[in-house]
Amino acid sequence: MSFFMFTSLKRILKFGWHSFARNKGLGLQVIFIMGIAVFFILLFFLGRGVGQSLFNEMARKVDISIYFKSEASEQEILQIKNRISLLSDNIKSIEYISKERALAIFSAEHQDDELYLRALEEVKENVLLPSLNIYSDDPSYYVKISDSLKEPPSNDIVAKISYEQPKNKQAIETLAAITDGLRIAGIAMVTLLGLLVIVITSNIIRLTFVVLKDEINTMKLVGASDWFVRGPFVAQTFFYGLFAVIAVDVFSGVTLYFFNAQAIHWFSNFNVFDYFAANFFIIFGFQLGFVVLLGMASTLITLRKHLKA
Amino acid sequence: MIKFEKVSKIYNSKNEPIVAVEDVSFVISEGEFVCVVGKSGAGKTTLIKLLTGYERPTDGQVFFHERDIHGIASTGLQKIRRKIGVVHQDYRLLQTKTVFENLAYVMQVIGISDTDIKRDAAQVLDIVGLESRACSFPCELSGGEKQRLAIARALIHRPELIVADEPTGNLDPYHTFEIVHLFKKISQMGATIILATHNKEIVDNLKERVITLERGRIISDEREGRFIL
């Protein structure tokens, strides 16, 4: 960049800063409007984090149990166990529970319940089935496991798969749908707010232009280039956006810090402040890019039709 | 340097068209000092607006260094404007900038360094008697101070052409004399000066070329002219 261009750029930023600093009333209004958009972007990110955390929490509580027919041999069951464990690294544990162990667990769980114990005595034989308890940190694998067991030779010895129970499957699918829905709603809201930022910034620039029309004409009369006239407005919008983002993030950060204990309790141990801190640069960058770029683009578009020699 | 060739400017209005300037032709050479005189409404300000590109002629052409200023791209017009210093009748100061910043702006447009700007601005403010008002905004100045600032802004970048539209209208006799004397000195240094005025004393004392306008037409163009209205 040539010295002249660098000097001009420096001056444009300085003029923009002066305009920003000398119009405090207007500035506060613009920063407030942009701040609303910035705040909702922050809510979008935090909402995503909370949603993901709740989803993971729920997924952790869900596992899948495969019950085998009484006549299935231990060797056959262990073969299936090996096959499943190779499906993915997301499968964290597979526990084989034999008929005998199942009976022991059942008896221990119901040792004070005479009704169950008498029922077992009357039946005389062990009617409990051998099973595999599988836990994955990605519930989507349960579908794969379930599907793979419906095919021969596995389907010959499988009696029942707990994942297919409507309650479990529905819970996971509902939670996934809610998370997806929240994400879509968040994107829609951010898009709407983006339009709001454009419309409001355009109107403010247009009003400012009406007020400063004579001044802009004078700048042109002394030979200022279109960029030298236009640049400070764009720089001014940049400063509005930057201050809006800083104000919202500082306020939000302080609020989250002091109310974090409460938030953890509300969101099932999800540490909102830690999430905010860990993702701060991504959030800040997105907020700044979104608001500043939109604001600057709307400024340029609004000024363009007014700047004719 | 400057050539008006059969220039007319007609403003359309609700009642009937207003002929501000009609079939005006003249040539001004480099280094000339020209007074453009006429009563209020004679067309002096319109002539200046046509010269600076603020208005387009209805007919005819305006040339600056043989370039039709209304036939060039906007970037070309910007470059021409940087070579002209204009004192407007209504001052046209930058209201959101201080006195110093108003002067500095003209220099910044042409890329002068901050050091040179500080030095030249201080010098010019001293010449026009505004050195103590450097940090004031135009709204805080009197009419005479605004006019002196407008004059200072027209001179600071040492333009090759200075166009002044009633530059002494709000000035006391002392400052009027000072400003006219300054213009004379600048003219002697090679700048071309066009001074639009209806002040008889200034015109008669200067003894320079006088173009007289009446109802938009040139009725007289004399070297070492006098105020004949």
pLDDT tens figures, A4-58: 778 888 899 999 898 888 888 888 888 888 888 888 888 888 888 887 777 776 6
Residue B139 has pLDDT above 80, yes or no: yes
The mean per-residue pLDDT over the stretch A182-194 comes to 77
Residue B175 has pLDDT above 90, yes or no: no
Nearest Cα to B113, choosing from A16, A10, A18? A10
CB contact under 8 A, B113 and A7: yes
Take residue A94 and report the two structure tokens written for it. 């597979």
Residue A306: band (very low, low, confident or very high) from pLDDT cuts 50, 70, 90 = low
Residues of chain B contacting residue A4, judged by C-beta atoms under 8 Å apart? 111
Least confident segment among B102-111, B125-134, B179-188: B179-188
**CA separation for the pair B204, B226 (Å, rounded):** 5
CB contact under 8 A, B78 and A225: yes
Least confident segment among A106-115, A206-215, B30-39: A206-215
How many angstroms away from the CA of A244 is the closest CA of chain B?
24
pLDDT tens figures, A236-277: 888 988 999 999 999 999 999 998 888 777 777 788 888 899
How many angstroms away from the CA of B109 is the closest CA of chain A?
5
Q: Give the C-alpha distances (Å, rounded to integers) separating B12 from A9, B16, B18, B80.
A: 41, 7, 6, 28
Is this structure's pTM higher than 0.80? no
pLDDT tens figures, B37-48: 988 888 999 999
pLDDT tens figures, B33-77: 999 998 888 899 999 999 988 899 999 999 999 999 988 888 888
Residues of chain A contacting residue B79, judged by C-beta atoms under 8 Å apart? 223
Residues of chain B contacting residue A22, judged by C-beta atoms under 8 Å apart? 96
The alpha carbon torsion through B132, B135, B140, B144 (nearest 10 deg) reads: 40
CB contact under 8 A, A222 and B93: no
Take residue B78 and report the two structure tokens written for it. 């910007």
Residue A1: band (very low, low, confident or very high) from pLDDT cuts 50, 70, 90 = low
| Integer-rounded Cα radius of gyration of chain B | 17
ipTM of the complex: 0.84
Q: What is the pLDDT of residue A309?
A: 43
Q: What is the torsional sign of CA A49, A54, A57, A58?
A: negative
